[in-house]
Amino acid sequence: MARAYNFSAGPAVLPLEVLKDAQADLVDYKGCGMSVMEMSHRGKDYDAIHQEAIATFKELCGLGDDWAVCFIQGGASLQFGMIPMNFLGAGMTADYVNSGTWGNKAIKEAKKVAALRNANVNIVADCQKDIPTRQPTEFNWSENAAYAHLCTNETISGAELKTIPDVKVPLIGDMSSDILSCERDYGKFSMFYAGAQKNLGPSGMAVVAIRKDFAEKGPESLPTMLQYRTFVNDNSLYNTPPTWGIYVFGETMKWVKKMGKENLFKLNAEKAGRIYDVIDSSDFWTGTAVKEFRSNMNVTWRIKNGDEALEKKFIEEAKAAGLSSLKGHRSVGGIRASIYNAFPMEGIDALVSFMKDFEAKNG
């Protein structure tokens, strides 16, 4: 059976090379006589997988020994609540950027914690409802915030923050949909995190990079599994971690390293550019994000300014042609092509060709 070109926002496409290696290792990992899913997380075979995965990721992000990499189940959504639980104490203020759906979800969770602790959530920028969609350009930072939080790429709106702002307080970034897809100065952050299911591996966990001294700021009165220090001090092995997900994450990181970051970043820009070129070629298509903030990971657009019947036809015919999951998020409609690191150029060319043919028949 031929593989479809998978434009899903997540769980998303994985490198075919990684999938084939995982398939080969599934029943018997490197002659161990068992699957990674069966072996003890305390044993030497799994320990080597765990340590290499962390080391490769830290190398790719340029992180030193003062950083820890944690594997936390619950995805990025758990992080929305876990962050304020650890760092937003009584009487404190946390700065949040509301750049879209995911920025807003993080704010809602932070406000719940703030209400319990007599703390404050300060919205430093708000462009969630702006059409065309965008990322903010001006921020009203607090003087002494406990931390500042932003989302670097809004998956639903297709708007990406191209430059990380300079912030005087600890900066936390939700990078779920664009981590390791473009040049970033990770040193600007005290913590950044990503749900694994887009650029890092299979669904089921978040990868959290955090400065060790920042992790220690969380109260020890929190339940053990909600403290970042637990994951830091025990190297994400306090309890049984998602071993298979970590194995695939490690293999994906080795694939990124093999590709070469600079080559991958350039390829990502080229892939997105080919689709945007078609969108900009006529009035038949309408991009939904401001050009200067267009995402290279999530390309979003409409047909004839929102002709839903024609968009439905496009999505159905595209699926029949092997172009899967192009329907926009249910909250906004339209069309969305999620083209993460592992998405092949051949799939881009197939989509571009289909778009041109569809316009010729329906324009």
Catalytic residue set = 102, 174, 198
Q: Is 342 left (phi over 0), alpha (psi -120 to 50) or beta?
A: alpha
Q: What are the angstrom distances between the C-alpha of 208 and each of 38, 173, 276?
A: 25, 10, 32
Strand, coil or helix: what is 203? Answer: coil
**Spatial contact of 183 and 191, defined as CB atoms under 8 Å apart:** no
Q: Rounded to whole angstroms, how far apart are CA atoms 114 and 223?
A: 18
Among residues 270, 277, 264, which one has the least CA distance to residue 352?
A: 277
Tokens of 318: 């595209």
Q: What order of strands is seen across the sheet that includes strand 205-211?
A: 67-73, 205-211, 191-195, 171-174, 147-151, 93-98, 120-126
Q: Rounded to whole angstroms, how far apart are CA atoms 316 and 322?
A: 10
Q: What is the DSSP letter of 2?
A: P
Among residues 265, 269, 247, which one has the least CA distance to residue 256?
A: 265
Q: What is the DSSP letter of 221?
A: T
Q: Is the dihedral of CA 293, 157, 200, 112 positive or negative?
A: positive
Among residues 205, 228, 243, 191, which one has the least CA distance to residue 75?
A: 205
Tokens of 321: 């042609």
